[in-house]
Amino acid sequence: MNDLSILLDYYNPFDDFDNSDVKKTFKRVFKEDVEQEQLIWHKDKNDRKIKVIWGTGWKLQMDNELPFDLEVGQNYFIEKETFHRLHKGNSELKLEIKEY
């Protein structure tokens, strides 16, 4: 593995999986061993609805707000161009993401 691939792995602490059954929907998995420093503030180009499939102890923090617990089975809406980040939990995190 070269330095560039190590750097890209560090800044993409997740794996995405296409969901060919539903348009503009994909699954995203954050591994349990992800480093908190990898979960950076960012914003997305599209509105997103996030459904938590699996994970414990993970939190979502929106810009200028305190972090809140992510709950399995719940949906969360993230408006495009809004800064947000995840806080690491104590398990793997699996999400279903739909973009609008």
Confidence of residue 10 (pLDDT cuts 50, 70, 90): low
Domain locations along the chain: 3-99
Separation CA 91–CA 78 (nearest Å)? 22
Mean pLDDT of 24-47: 94
Does residue 29 register a pLDDT over 80? Answer: yes
State residue 18's pLDDT score.
84
pLDDT, the chain, mean: 89
The more confident residue out of 80 and 22 is 80
State residue 20's pLDDT score.
66
State residue 3's pLDDT score.
54
Count of CB atoms situated within 10 Å of the CB of 89: 17
Separation CA 17–CA 5 (nearest Å)? 19
Correct CATH for 3-99 of 3.60.40.10, 2.130.10.10, 1.10.3720.10, 2.60.120.10:
2.60.120.10
Question: What type of residue sits at position 24?
Answer: K
Contact (Cβ atoms closer than 8 angstroms) between residue 78 and residue 50: yes
Query: Percent helix, strand, coil in the chain (nearest 5)?
Result: 10, 40, 50
